[in-house]
Amino acid sequence: MPYWNLLRDMPVRAKLRTIIFLVSGVAVLGACAVFLTYQWISSRKALVQQLQIMAEIVADQSTAAVEFNQAESAALIVGSLKAERQIRVAALYSKEGRLFAHYRRDGADAAEIPAAPAADGWRFEGGELLIFQPLWSGGERVGTFHIRSDLSPLWNQLGVNVGIVGVVLVGAGLAILFMSGKLGKVVTDPVMRLAEGVRAVAVQKNYSVRVEGRSRDELGLLIDGFNTMLSQIQARDEALARAKDELEARVRERTRELESFSYSVSHDLRAPLRAIDGYSLMLIEDCADRLDANGRRYLDVIKDNTRKMGQLIDDLLAFSRMGRKTVETAVIDMGKMAREVFAELRPLTPDRPLELRMDNLPAGQGDAAMIRQVFANLLSNAIKYSRDRNPAIVEIGARKEGSETVYFVRDNGVGFEMQYAHKLFGVFQRLHSAREFEGTGVGLALVQRIVQKHGGRVWGEGEVGKGATFYFTLPDKSASPTAASREEAR
């Protein structure tokens, strides 16, 4: 099983090459084994044949020497086998089986010469070939000729064949290596291209890549399918981006309409309000003596509400105007600015025990007037919602976080429930009634708008009865305003 896992985890190129190598290797090895076996069998047969013919010839040549009892010439004939190096021993036997003449190769033992002939024919025995050949003369058997040969021709032939097999194996191996590389490309190249395409899509999210492939097989289908899928995704992405752009443009358009509407509304509301205010004043100044106590009190209520409404309209105008204002970036000494704003607000409630805690603040980049407005709104809120505390503590701080600075204003006032935190920054959204704490519900909305114009974020944290903390961030390089603020600046 580990071998299969090894194969499974290989790259396709190596896998294909390995498979081709294994399969053709088995085929070539099988063929070589068959070749060697066949060669061994046939060279055995050839050796037997060759020695049989030799034995027949020698036997035929030596009949006269045996018949006429010429041991010397018999020894000469038998000795002629010396030229055949593989023959260890040769012997002539008389009709009665008596050893008549013999030949012995150097190194062959005399004991290898049988004292008497064995059965006619040939046989392999102890790594040697033994032949007993009858001697015939005039239809009569006159003796036996014996040859004992080693198998050196067989081994030599085997050596040659093994050499051939080696050459074939090496040649086939190289050819397979070369061809598997060339042919394998037909399969692996499309796969590699596909893998590269997939990587480009997965890593770079680049849906514009296309994989080339012209083959008409399954791989070609796969590549076509992949390309089609990419086209679809790309088309959908583009449609989505277009829809988003359209939507944003439409939202901007609506916002602008809304802003100009609210601006003109609040502007137009001022004129009748001024009339009401003016006439109420005239009524008090000119006709006060003709009014009874009730009448004067009613007029006071009218005056008071007129003032509130004026405030409301002013706030709304400021908020609307903010949409049109351009951010004029400069380096701001945030600590100094916060102190100044606090100093301006402090006299409004001179009798209250109020404490400011503040460290040095890092300098920020932004529109000085707008940031001053942010501090003003946050500090006035902090002072307002902590008026029941003794002492009321307002804390201003900051910390660096990555490429931005987080500023905060904290108080120990009434706080709020976190579940309503999302409502804090909506226009006219209030968590407390105007009767408890005066205000128009525009302040935090304005803060949010300013901070967002600077490319920052704003959020609040609080707990009922334990105070609230408002955070806003300013990017370190607000010199390059965000796309959104640039859009709005236009």
Cα(413)–Cα(172) distance, rounded to whole angstroms? 91
C-beta of 99 vs 222, nearer to other proteins = 99
Contacts of residue 114, Cβ cutoff 8 Å, sequence gap at least 6: 91, 146
Q: Supply the minimum distance, in Å, between the C-beta of residue 61 and other proteins.
A: 6
Using rule CB under 8 A, residue 80 touches other proteins: no
Q: Which range binds other proteins by CB under 8 A, 64-72, 189-197, 368-376, 384-392?
A: 64-72
| Using rule CB under 8 A, residue 73 touches other proteins | yes
Total count of residues recorded for the chain: 490
Of the candidate spans 55-63, 230-238, 249-257, 264-272, the one that interacts with other proteins by CB under 8 A turns out to be 55-63
Nearer to other proteins, 65 or 383 (CB): 65
Contact between 61 and other proteins per CB under 8 A: yes
Q: Is 70 in the site for other proteins (CB under 8 A)?
A: yes
Query: Should residue 82 be labelled a site residue for other proteins when binding is judged by CB under 8 A?
Result: no
Nearer to other proteins, 70 or 485 (CB): 70
Residues 128-147 as x/- pattern, contact with other proteins by CB under 8 A: ---------xx-x-xx----
CB 410: neighbour CB atoms within 10 A?
Answer: 21
Crossing angle, helix 12-61 and helix 152-204, to 10 degrees?
170
Q: State how far the Cα of 53 lies from the Cα of 265, in Å rounded to an integer.
A: 132
Residue pair 344/338 in contact by the 8 Å Cβ criterion:
no
CA 122 to chain centre: 75
Is the CB of 45 or the CB of 98 nearer to other proteins? 98
Is 66 or 223 the residue whose CB approaches other proteins more closely? Answer: 66
Candidate ranges 63-71, 289-297, 375-383, 471-479; the one touching other proteins (CB under 8 A): 63-71
- Does 60 help bind other proteins (rule: CB under 8 A)? yes
CB of 70 to other proteins, least distance (A): 4
Size of the site for other proteins (CB under 8 A): 24
Site for other proteins in 85-104 (CB under 8 A): 94-96, 98
Nearest distance from residue 73's CB to other proteins, in Å? 5
Q: In angstroms, give the least distance from the CB of 42 to other proteins.
A: 33
The amino acid sitting at 407 is Y
* 69 makes contact with other proteins (CB under 8 A): yes
Taking the complex as a whole, how short is the minimal distance between the CB of residue 65 and other proteins, in angstroms? 4
Task: Give the nearer residue to other proteins in terms of CB position, either 97 or 173.
Answer: 97
Q: Is 415 left (phi over 0), alpha (psi -120 to 50) or beta?
A: left
Toward other proteins, which CB reaches closer, 67 or 461? 67
Nearer to other proteins, 61 or 227 (CB): 61
Q: Which CB sits closer to other proteins, 90 or 354? A: 90
Tokens encoding 165: 């097999």
Min separation Cβ 138 and other proteins, Å: 4
- The Cα 333–Cα 66 span in angstroms is 137
Q: How far apart are the first and last CA of the chain?
A: 70
Task: Classify residue 60 by burial, with Cβ atoms within 10 Å: 0-12, 13-18, 19+.
Answer: middle
Residue 99 CA to chain centroid, in angstroms? 90
The CB-of-140 to other proteins minimum distance in angstroms stands at 7
Residues 485 and 449: beta-carbon distance below 8 Å: no
The correct pick among 39, 43, 63, 180 for binding other proteins (CB under 8 A) is 63
Q: Give 391's contacts (C-beta < 8 A, 6+ positions apart).
A: 353, 354, 355
Least Å distance, CB 63 to other proteins, is: 6
Which residue of 65, 87, 130, 194 would you call a contact of other proteins, by CB under 8 A?
65
Under rule CB under 8 A, residue 71 binds other proteins: yes
Cis peptide before 391 (omega within 30 of 0): yes
Task: Decide if residue 365 touches other proteins (CB under 8 A).
Answer: no
The answer to whether 413 and 389 are in contact (CB under 8 A) is yes
Beta carbon nearer to other proteins, 127 or 139:
139
- Token pair for 208: 């514009």
Q: Which is nearer to other proteins, 114 or 143 (CB)?
A: 143
**Can you tell me which of 16, 51, 54, 77 binds other proteins, judged by CB under 8 A?**
77
- Smallest separation (angstroms) from other proteins to the CB of 59: 11
66 binding other proteins? (CB under 8 A): yes
* Binding site residues, other proteins, CB under 8 A: 60-71, 73-74, 77, 94-96, 98, 137-138, 140, 142-143
